[in-house]
Amino acid sequence: PPQKERKFIVFQGCLLELFKVCRTCLAPCRNTIVVQGTQVKITSTCAQNHVERWWSQPQVSGKAAGNILICAGILFSGAPVATTLRLLKSINVATVSERTFHYYQQAYLLPAVKQVYKRHNSELLEGLQAKTIDLAGDGRCDSPGFSAKYCTYSFHEASTKKVIHIEQVQVGESDEVPSSNAMEKVAFVRGLTKLKKEDFTIGSFISDRHPGVEHHMRTEERGIKHYFDTWHIDKGLKKKLQAASRKSESRELQVWVQPVTNHLYYCAALGNGNGPLLVSIWLSLLNHVVDKHDGHDGPYSECLHQPLSDRAWLTEGTPAYNKLRSILSSPRLLKDIRHLSPGSQTSSVEAFNSVLIGFASKSRAFTPEGMEARTLVAALHYNENVGREQATTREGVQRFMVVTSKARKGHSTARPIPSKATFEYRDELMAEVMTCLEKWPTLREALEANASQHLPPMCARYPRPPKSDLIAARRSRFSSHAGSSQDQS
């Protein structure tokens, strides 16, 4: 198949050396070159009127294979379209236009991605039939700040850490989504509603502390246990502790920032989802920091650790202790502590969002079709490579890399190095593209069969004055400024 053949960059001068003379009579030839995207057609005619026609690429349903393959390669590798084409043009390599890419993406590439993702997702869901599963989920907007256009909410099965459902929402697509702030909850509710129709039972759901998601789970999904990801709580807690420790009256808290965050994970592991026990373990820290290790309130009456050596204990009633007490016993934090996840977390969701940035950068704008296609390809890549074994040396020793944290003042840890990523899904995607080309031989047929079902651009809702009026207004505005400045001079 064309996608498996090796390809080379051939210079025009070297190529025309092959067409200098006629292969029939060896007479000199006159060559005509026609370039179509990445394809070149050469018609060679000699003095004896012997004509030879040569194509640089095989044809697939009447289309140059290289044109469709380079478009597929850009999408399936997550490369930026404009940057890739600009790279090729900068060294004068013939290539397709951006318009051609978007035509092929709509007509052939997106249907191929959807079909392959559907097959893989069906296999995942079949493996979960008649089981009780734990889900983890989080939303990811396509740009930072409050100007996002899309929100992608991904649901992961906690034990396998694989993506089992993706929901994409666009601002303005319905009255439910008037602004970017509303997208995450709407995407979550739609996705959860679809997953509840599958042949498995959702036992619990782990998420961050998004208010809309928390409210929906508390009021509409009472049968599903809702847990909060420990890392998200830890992140907010650590910021408050670090800010407090920088003040002169509470510098003693600096040595307690890391122990307090460690205690949060200890609570999650020992509490096992029991709200009163979690709160009791958490508040025992207020006694622990003043070297008091028994007589705690609630079911956790005493610390379980061994006797400790002298530490930089706090003194009850001091500004540092009072500040720590106000942070640890705040009503909002205690409410969240009750929902700490005892086991699985949303780390797999964060890992997927990190992968997705490589396929759909937040610094670039995408059409709805482009965003959907790149998200699904990212999910295929992530699901294929999640849970890779640790890389080893030739001697069989496991490999690690040293990671130094700037936020923790140069604290270093050893992180396992996973084995190399695989890309078998790309071969399947390329094969599916060829199937789509056979199914819809002409571009018109393909575009009609796969017409866009997404919303038009967001600015399309506003009336647009004629271009000539805008040009006239601009000229009159600048000419009036120029005239006034000349009068003053």
Q: Residue 315 falls within a domain, yes or no?
A: yes
Q: Residue 20 falls within a domain, yes or no?
A: yes
Based on its alpha-carbon atoms, the radius of gyration of the chain, rounded to whole angstroms, reads 31
Instruction: Give 456's DSSP letter.
Output: P
Q: Pick from 337, 355, 370: which residue ends a domain?
A: 337
Residues 318 and 394 in one domain: no
Q: For 397-418, b where at least 16 C-beta lie within 10 A, e where not — what string?
A: eeeeeeeeeeeeeeeeeeeeee
User: Do 384 and 116 meet the contact criterion of CB atoms below 8 Å apart?
Assistant: no
Q: Residue 479 falls within a domain, yes or no?
A: no
489 has pLDDT over 50: no
Instruction: Show the domain range for 326.
Output: 231-337
Tokens for 2, please give them: 């064309």
**What does pTM read for this prediction?**
0.87
Q: Pick from 418, 433, 458: which residue ends a domain?
A: 418
Task: For 155, list phi and psi in degrees, rounded to 5.
Answer: -110, 130
| Distances from the Cα of 384 to the Cα of 381, 388, 442, angstroms | 5, 9, 33
Fill in the amino acid letter for 127.
G
As a whole number of angstroms, the distance between CA 279 and CA 335 comes to 9
Q: What is the mean pLDDT of residues 317-331?
A: 93
| Distances from the Cα of 244 to the Cα of 148, 252, 263, angstroms | 33, 10, 18
As a whole number of angstroms, the distance between CA 312 and CA 59 comes to 76
pLDDT band with cut points at 50, 70 and 90 for residue 80: very high
User: Do 283 and 329 meet the contact criterion of CB atoms below 8 Å apart?
Assistant: yes
Tell me which residue of 154, 125, 113, 133 sits closest to 354, measured CA to CA.
Answer: 154
As a whole number of angstroms, the distance between CA 197 and CA 165 comes to 12
Q: Residue 379 falls within a domain, yes or no?
A: no
Tell me which residue of 207, 121, 119, 209 sits closest to 158, measured CA to CA.
Answer: 207
The string of pLDDT tens digits covering residues 381-436 is: 999 999 889 899 999 899 999 988 877 677 788 989 999 999 999 999 999 999 99
What secondary structure does DSSP assign to 353-413, as a single string? HHHHHHHS-TTS---HHHHHHHHHHHHHHHHHHTTPPBPB-TTSPBPEEEEEETTTTTEEE
Looking at residue 329, its pLDDT comes to 92
Residues 332 and 392 in one domain: no
Mean pLDDT of the chain: 90
483 has pLDDT over 90: no
Q: Residue 431 falls within a domain, yes or no?
A: no
The string of pLDDT tens digits covering residues 181-194 is: 899 999 999 999 99
140 has pLDDT over 90: yes
Which residue's entry shows tokens 């510098």? 251
Looking at residue 481, its pLDDT comes to 54
148 has pLDDT over 50: yes
Q: Pick from 77, 96, 115: which residue ends a domain?
A: 96
